[in-house]
Amino acid sequence: MFDVAIIGAGAAGLFCAATATKRGRRVVLLDHAAEPGAKILISGGGRCNFTNLDVRPENFISKNPHFCKSALAGFSQHDFIAMVAARGIAYHEKRLGQLFCDGSAREILAMLMEDCTSAGVEMQLGRRTSDISKADSFRIETDTGMVEASAVVLATGGLSIPKMGATGFAYEMAKKFGLAITETRPGLVPLVFAGEEQTWMQGLSGVSFETVASCGKAAFRENALFTHRGLSGPAVLQVSSYWREGKGIRLDLLPEQNAYEFLLERKAARPRAELKTVLSEILPARLAHALVPLANHVIGDMPNKALKNTAELINNFALHPSGSEGFAKAEVTCGGVDTAGLSSKTMESRAVKGLYVIGEAVDVTGWLGGYNFQWAWSSAWAAGMAI
């Protein structure tokens, strides 16, 4: 009999277990994987983008955009940075406030594991949880017998990368206990294209460029990359979390510059230059050539209307994704356990006392840039301090 059973030894589960155990709770942490924190290890290209210097509620997507506020304020990026610094883990800001380990993501996992071990968390790995029921206490069925606990924390994450052990367990159990689930979709995922758009992009596979990618009102200035199936890179991953089937996306290939004014200026200055050559001054040459495939135009001979059309392509390039690379390639799952059924202060179910949901399983999805781990730490802390 434990005070708390935490299902899932990922970022959120590990941090919650250490937090609750330090407060004197008897905690068992269960995971079906043989090793904890698999996603921490592969995150940030092996260097773990563990948080961001600038974390705001606006960096998160949720049916209720206010839900994340209390947890993010209760345990902020500065609190996690202080933990990292206190352990002597060296880190650096890569760009846009994103903090990465200088060495390896292993250091973040080691820190969490040391905290769990020194506090006395009972870690049971390689143990799959199949069901949870509640009488006076919670009964957690596993493939090697039953565990009983006064409280349960669902920390099994989302559906992204099933190959790494992702399951919909948190959603199944949440539903069983009467919590609603918002639509789940792959997020931070490469977008794919069909037909002519795909054929066109295939020829550009490997070309990267600076852009402002937008979908509806969401816009991100970052790099993007053509792949053999479509588009990837940070700017596109960011808009993918806002994209829906049937919607278009737009790329500004010359951020913060008016392409028409640029072309007019070049027409005046270099009238004998070919349009392709002029475009290669501002875009990767392969992209410049692909944008005007048939044009052998000399810029000085082109009417301004034609230059305007070319400029429109550059500043406002409309594309129509046919889909995404799906959960197999998605960094996160958008949607999840509906926050309407949870306390924003503790992550406890409003209806079922003692049932908590934390981390990616909750309908709170961060932007690319360390926000998803920050949500894991903040929501884990909120539950760990309340249990």
Ligand X SMILES: Cc1cc2nc3c(=O)[nH]c(=O)nc-3n(C[C@H](O)[C@H](O)[C@H](O)COP(=O)(O)OP(=O)(O)OC[C@H]3O[C@@H](n4cnc5c(N)ncnc54)[C@H](O)[C@@H]3O)c2cc1C
Compare residues 35 and 261 and give the one whose CB is closer to ligand X. 35
**Min separation Cβ 9 and ligand X, Å:** 5
DSSP letters along 170-214, please? Answer: HHHHHHHTT--BPPPEEES--EE--HHHHHHHHTTTT-EEEEEEE
Q: Which single residue is written with the structure tokens 């992009």?
A: 201
- AA letter at 294: L
Compare residues 8 and 321 and give the one whose CB is closer to ligand X. 8
**Min separation Cβ 364 and ligand X, Å:** 10
- For residue 48, give the nearest of 4, 106, 88 by alpha carbon: 106
How many residues are recorded in the chain?
Answer: 387
- The structure tokens listed for 157 are 């994450």
- For residue 77, give the nearest of 385, 373, 387, 380 by alpha carbon: 373
CA distance 177 to 349: 9
**Min separation Cβ 165 and ligand X, Å:** 4
- For residue 289, give the nearest of 351, 212, 204, 369 by alpha carbon: 204
Compare residues 77 and 214 and give the one whose CB is closer to ligand X. 77
Q: Are 17 and 29 in contact (CB under 8 A)?
A: yes
The one-character DSSP state at 228 is S
Residues that bind ligand X in the complex, under the rule CB under 6 A: 7-13, 30-33, 38-39, 42-44, 48-49, 128-129, 155-157, 160-161, 165, 167, 169, 331-332, 359-361, 370-373, 376
Compare residues 239 and 361 and give the one whose CB is closer to ligand X. 361
Compare residues 102 and 261 and give the one whose CB is closer to ligand X. 102
Q: At what angle do helices 259-269 and 304-315 cross, to 10 degrees?
A: 140
Torsion of CA 350, 12, 21, 35, to 10 degrees: 130
Q: Are 26 and 77 in contact (CB under 8 A)?
A: no
**Min separation Cβ 283 and ligand X, Å:** 29
**Min separation Cβ 256 and ligand X, Å:** 27
**Min separation Cβ 339 and ligand X, Å:** 15
Give the nearest residue (CB) to ligand X. Answer: 10
Compare residues 355 and 361 and give the one whose CB is closer to ligand X. 361
Compare residues 38 and 283 and give the one whose CB is closer to ligand X. 38
**Min separation Cβ 383 and ligand X, Å:** 12
